[in-house]
Structure 1
Amino acid sequence: MGEGAAGAEGRVGWLCIGVDGGGTKTKATATYAFPDGGARADDDLQVGSSFAGGHAYLVVGKGVGGSANQNSVGTTRAVESVSRAVQEALESAHKRLIGAGGGKAPVEVALSICLSLSGVDRQGDEVPFEEGLKSMLERSESGSIVDRDRVVINVVNDAYAALASGLFVAQGARQPHLSWCEDQLRGMVLIVGTGTIAFGVRESESGEIERHRVGGWGCTFGDDGSGYDVAYRSFCAIARCHDGRDPRETSLTGKVLARLGMSQPMQLIPWAYGEGKEWAKMADLAPLCLEGAAEGDKVCSEIIGECTTALAGSVAALRRRLFGGEGAPPIVLVGGLVSAENPLARGLQEKLRTHGDLRGSEIIRPRSEAVLGAAAMAQKWGQRRNREDRC
């Protein structure tokens, strides 16, 4: 790093890039962080007004790309999307660091990248992304600032970024639950969107990582408690009430018919076997059930109750498999169905608090983007490599 970018005492930081890659969009955020845990107010690279707790770092670049899910768009397109986002973030960082150095191009800087991507679940999935980034660094002009002997690339599932965003990133004025520079990643995340998955990480002091997942099989296997499942149960309830198998009246029928521009429940059949076979389109109807539950509709409330029970059960199963009787790991809740106040989010939190296997676990609903969680992981892995280099 150039003289003007190293800090008041000549300390040299790492350039860290976090990537949150989803099925439709990829986001990259580049940060500049010191491996000793944070920045100080006298550093040439100013990091805002708060330096407490070693959590300060400077965002120096951002980038975007398309889908990063190789199962959805193929490996070639997914790698291109990720490489494009990282390159944009790197180019922005290059300009920022030159500015901080008084116009001097910085000397080669260590680089740590965390790719937290959907669709990365099996051994070997990471290889094409690692190779794609290395190729991009060779070709890119901004890659000239990178010390090729100190490049760390880790490719993990997208649940990592979600978990880290709840544990390692400040939530508004509240300090992070854990310090990325001092603590091990240890906790569980429940993602509730179109689908759902419970994912946990248990990192030892030596850096060894044990992880486990519950759910995430996909809507074909049920994905109990997901947006798809809420909508599916809603369709089943509409059919039962229309037939008289359930004698109750429900506002759900009218809400769904109005949304789809229909007048009779039987019209739902061709839609369900046509457009409704697309998981996302079915899941788009889930908020109608949440709306009904908020209005006091008993059928809707029953559906939401079943879903929250299933979701809490997934987290409890994860806790037993990964942590056993060890402590009370925190639970991070993310996803479209639990990011706002609604009957499902409230009911889920209550069942998590009262579940026998989960009592004592803090429930965290992140306010920050998952990409910052990925950046924090990049900082953590960069710090680890820095320590190894000193040994």
Structure 2
Amino acid sequence: MSTPSPGAATSAPQTLSALQVLACGAAIVTLSMGIRHGFGLWLQPITQDLGWTRENFAFAMAVQNLSWGLFGIFAGMLADRFGGYRVLMGGAVLYALGLAGMAWSSTTLLFTLTTGVLIGAAQAGTTYAVIYGILGRQIPAERRSWAMGMAAAAGSFGQFLMVPVEGFLIAQFGWQQALLVLGVAVLLVVPLATGLREPATGAAGPGAVRQQTIGQAVREAFGYRSFQLLMAGYFVCGFQVVFIGVHMPSYLKDHGLSPQVASYALALIGLFNVFGTYAAGVLGQRLAKRKILAFIYLMRSVAITVFLLAPLTPWSVYVFAAAMGLLWLSTIPPTNAIVAQIFGVAHLSMLGGFVFFSHQVGSFMGVWLGGLLYDRTGSYDIVWYISIALGVFAAVVNWPVREAPIQRGPQRVGGAAA
């Protein structure tokens, strides 16, 4: 068992105000998530200009999501141990380099390494796992779900704000120059990260004293049934949102709708997700979070089904985008709040990283299968149907999740509780 640093248990006041944490964290998530939400706008300009297939582009995006999930585990470990602000600053630099590499890649291999691996690693260090770890340690438990909803809403506002901006940049300057502009913009994360510098090693705050090693915390979580169910549900979340976010612009253009419809649709998803994620965070303080998650996943399947059955018009797209927006990232606050509620906050960034890795495996499958099956069949229909079925599956597996804090024996803190 690791020994807490001297005075950690007795002199760990919240030296960061809730307003400061939320303002800086929300600004970072707005920028980092806003940029990545618009990557679908680059699919056709890049593939047409470089003579690549949609599968080439989709594979790089799939690798990006997998890289994000994998590196997110280690980013979480580093943030828990050394403080999230250091990880955020490093992630911002990687993000800028990755966007420059995305602009200048001349081969599919280089494109996959920069757009996929490098940007994915950057996103791991500039998004939810790190930010939520800081929120969990600095915000009291009774306001934690609300605070996580606020941060997720900021990411949604980033989509609403940045997607039209990215579409404008592509139209005015071309896709390469647009990426370079975004590479400069993402460096704003560096000064914002200094506002999230926590006391001591980043483990300050009520309940954050480590009573487990990393290995004990991992074994405990993976041996706990509810953690496994949360990971299964989060796989579905990643599959659905990344498939829609990356491939819907091309799906709409294939059916004769203008690129502006896709830009407006993605922006509407971001706008309505501001309300959806905030509502999920607020409701998570009052209702069982597992029931909120089950409802969200089931309603996604309903929304996709209605969208496919209705005639495809700009207005049907906008209605679908608004509905999906309410459900888009609203899974994030209750999922992470459940993890904090069960296991505590000492290893929250790391455990959140593991859950998010499952999300990103789903993202990999959704975006890659979208490109693969389109190239094979000339249609996205099969992936839409898979998304519907997976939504029902996720609703079912989240229903039996147990939210109560795990019971640890005094001598066996790392043991798994069933």
Same fold (TM over 0.5): no
Normalising by the smaller structure, the TM-score range is under 0.3
Between structures 1 and 2, the one with greater helix share: 2
TM-score, normalization: structure 2? Answer: 0.24
Between structures 1 and 2, the one with greater strand share: 1
TM-score, normalization: structure 1? Answer: 0.25
